[in-house]
Structure 1
Amino acid sequence: MKIVEYRLRLPISCADYYRGQLYMVARSSMEETGVTEGEGVEIVKNEPYVDNPHGMPPGQYTEKNFYLRSHVPSFIAAVIPDEFFVLIEYSWNAFPKCLTIYENKYLGEKFFLSVETLHADDRGEQDNANLLTAEELKLRSVDVLDIADKNNGVAMIKGEDPTQFVSQKYPEHSKLKKDFAETCTPVMTAYKVVRLEFKVFGLQSKVEKWGQYYGMRGSFIKFHRKLWCWMDEWMDLSLEEIRDMEEKAKQYGRRMLHPENGVKGESTPKIKGGSILARAS
């Protein structure tokens, strides 16, 4: 098993980050659905929970199916039939603590992926925020990710560059400087511990390294760059408005992925301020 702790810092409070996180997850679910026929995100459940098998505090439970056939690298596609490219996500969000577990029915116990996160109003100084065991700490490596760094291996995309972003609503958050994590107030950190295991002979090391670096590290950087650069869309939304977005994303995914149960190609749901697919400039 490969364990990596990613630390992502943003110059906002945890309270603001929470709304941005929920907004981005709902928006991303819709953006990733319907681009390629039969692929995208299907939200199966989105409901409050009290009890759970992982000792998490009460919060919001979601279950999703990710249809990912075209996103899987060729060296994995060579050993797994196309019809089994479905990743199931189970997530318990008890912010500031979150736990997400993924499974693949075809791979079964050969595949394990989890993301355990603690969000804190600090600059990333905690050495063991998620309380890993002594054995896990021996396996863990730490990767501090900087969304403003142009040389972190993830190319900047036009409209999603925090160093160039100018907020129309919150000008004080415009154009992140390289030292923002040390100089800005407020600042928060997402401590994300990713455990990945792929027990397939001849592929384990390669898949685990690829999955951590490209699948997780790259996704975290892209997600948080978008979160920052689209803040004008979510910063003033209420939690109730975002929950409404989540329900619309759920219905949209079902229509696009299961057209036999509805009308395929219906227009993208609208929220306050317009379509959630309208990119911030």
Structure 2
Amino acid sequence: MKSYELCEFDSQLTAYSSRLKAYSSRLKAYSSRLKAYSSRLKAYSSRLKAYSSRLKAYSSRLKAYSSRLKAYSSRLKAYSSRLKAYSSRLKAYSSRLKAYSSRLKAYSSRLKAYSSRLKAYSSRLKAYSSRLKAYRSRLKAYSSRLKAYSSRLKAYSSRLKAYSSRLKAYSSRLKAYSSRLKFYSSWLKAYSSITEYTCSFLPKFSIHIETKYEDNKGSNDNIFDSEPKGEEEIEVCLVDIAYDEIPERYYKESEDLRYFKSEKTDRGVLQEGWIDNQEPIMCSYKLVTVKFEVWGLQTRVEQFVHKVIRDVLLLGHRQAFAWVDEWIEMTMDEVREYERATQEATNRKIGPFPPSISITETPLASVARNGPSSAPSTPLSTEPPEYLSVPKDRPRKKSAPETLTLPDPNRRDSGFRLASIFSWGSTPSPQPE
């Protein structure tokens, strides 16, 4: 049993040794392969390290490229918005270009028409140039005539100097005659009067004033029953004695009706809009007609006289209201005495000529005095004479001039001062000789 088992073990051992040899040979082959594989692995590891370093470089590059890509995307968005704006502008420019092209066509058609006109104008210019040559020839002839006229003008200028010296003498004589100014007035009747001013050395000069009084606020537009004839013009002028402006040289604070209050009658102060609110009230209507039929001076003199008369009436009525405390208690005899004294003072002032102001009064029946309570107590008479009728044979003009050179009213030989007509109650001031 033991020998058999030993033999069997030897056979197995040989088999195992053969196998072991085969395994060792294989192991050698595997070790040689493993060495080759290790060498290859080392090469692969070195390659992998190179690849990893490259990969890191590529990753850093990729990050840079991604940041650049973001910047490029933002720029692309901005460029796209700009492109849209440019496209809209391009559309507008295209529409404008179409409009400009249409205008250009119109301008081209106009240019053709202008060119045709220019040709016509050039032909006319040629004709005008020929006419100009003829006019030049005529101008030479006129220049020769002008020289002859200039020589004549020198002769006339010498004559004019001689006439100017004579004119000074005539003007001095005219000043002497100006002191003979005469006034003819007045015709009075109930609640109305007619006054006419004339001048002895100017028979074509006259001032005609017709006055009527009514208890209203100026609402009667045809109180004189006068209709304009032909080109005659009637200018209606409302005079507010409280708020209309007067010349500065006549202004007095005591006569300013905006601040005046009567002590005896308790009348005033006249406030803004007093014409509509005052009761009772009286309106003085005046129809003023001026005639100065002298060629070359008629319009300006008449307009200036109208302006002066308006200022005189405004000042006189202001003074009549402001001096109410002085005349409210006067009787009719005192009024007549005051008129006579004023007439004598006026005659002494204008010179040793006989008085030319006459007042005629004829009392009528008491029935004729039934008028408004506020009307002035004036003498009454019958119908006015014919020479005091209102002259209406020539139209009047308006728009008075602002200034007009007239003789100095403060000198004795300058005639009557119109501004003193309504200066009731004032003592005449001495005038320089």
- TM-score normalised by L of structure 1: 0.59
Report Cα offsets for 1:120-140 as digits up to 9, x if no partner.
Answer: 111110111112134289510
Q: Which amino acid aligns with 1:181?
A: I
Report Cα offsets for 1:87-146 as digits up to 9, x if no partner.
Answer: 4232112131100011111111x2121001111111110111112134289510100000
Q: How far apart are residue 225 of structure 1 and its match? A: 0.6
Say which SS state the counterpart of residue 316 (structure 2) adopts. helix
Equivalent position to 1:103, from 193, 198, 205: 198
1:230 matched to 2:323: yes
Q: How far apart are residue 178 of structure 1 and its match? A: 2.2
Following TM superposition, the consecutive aligned residue runs of length 4 or more in structure 1 with deviations greater than 6 angstroms are 77-80
Q: How far apart are residue 255 of structure 1 and its match? A: 4.7
Tell me if structure 1 keeps the 8 A contact 2:254–2:322: yes
Q: Which amino acid aligns with 1:107?
A: L
Q: How far apart are residue 238 of structure 1 and its match? A: 1.6
Say which SS state the counterpart of residue 81 (structure 1) adopts. helix
Gap change, CA 1:114 and 1:192, over 3 Å in 2:
same
Q: Which amino acid aligns with 2:316?
A: F
Say which SS state the counterpart of residue 119 (structure 1) adopts. strand
Count of residue pairs the alignment pairs up: 186
Gap change, CA 1:202 and 1:158, over 3 Å in 2:
same
Gap change, CA 1:79 and 1:126, over 3 Å in 2:
farther
Say which SS state the counterpart of residue 187 (structure 1) adopts. coil
Partner of 2:426: 277
CA distance in 2, matches of 1:93, 1:206: 31
Q: How far apart are residue 205 of structure 1 and its match? A: 1.1
1:130 matched to 2:224: yes
Say which SS state the counterpart of residue 147 (structure 1) adopts. coil
Say which SS state the counterpart of residue 227 (structure 1) adopts. helix
Q: How far apart are residue 200 of structure 1 and its match? A: 1.4
Gap change, CA 1:101 and 1:186, over 3 Å in 2:
same
Alignment gaps of 5+ in structure 1 = 1-76, 262-274
Report Cα offsets for 1:206-253 as digits up to 9, x if no partner.
Answer: 11111101x200000000110010000011212122112122223334
Q: Which amino acid aligns with 1:99?
A: I
Which structure's relative contact order is higher, taking Cα pairs within 8 Å and 6+ residues apart?
1
- TM-score normalised by L of structure 2: 0.39
CA distance in 1, matches of 2:231, 2:216: 21
Equivalent position to 2:339, from 246, 258, 281: 246
Equivalent position to 2:262, from 147, 152, 167: 167
CA distance in 1, matches of 2:211, 2:243: 22
Q: Which amino acid aligns with 2:239?
A: L
Say which SS state the counterpart of residue 124 (structure 1) adopts. coil
Gap change, CA 1:236 and 1:81, over 3 Å in 2:
same
CA distance in 2, matches of 1:260, 1:105: 12
Say which SS state the counterpart of residue 232 (structure 1) adopts. helix
The structure with more strand, counted as a fraction of residues: 1
Q: How does 1:59-70 map to 2 (within 5 A)?
A: none
CA distance in 2, matches of 1:198, 1:260: 24
Gap change, CA 1:153 and 1:240, over 3 Å in 2:
closer
Partner of 1:182: 276
**Once superposed, what is the RMSD of the aligned Cα atoms?**
3.0
Alignment gaps of 5+ in structure 2 = 1-169, 355-423, 428-433
- Identity among equivalent pairs (%): 25
Tell me if structure 1 keeps the 8 A contact 2:194–2:209: yes
Gap change, CA 1:135 and 1:259, over 3 Å in 2:
closer
Q: How far apart are residue 162 of structure 1 and its match? A: 0.9
Equivalent position to 1:200, from 286, 291, 294: 294
Tell me if structure 1 keeps the 8 A contact 2:228–2:234: no
Q: How does 1:48-63 map to 2 (within 5 A)?
A: none
Tell me if structure 1 keeps the 8 A contact 2:347–2:353: no
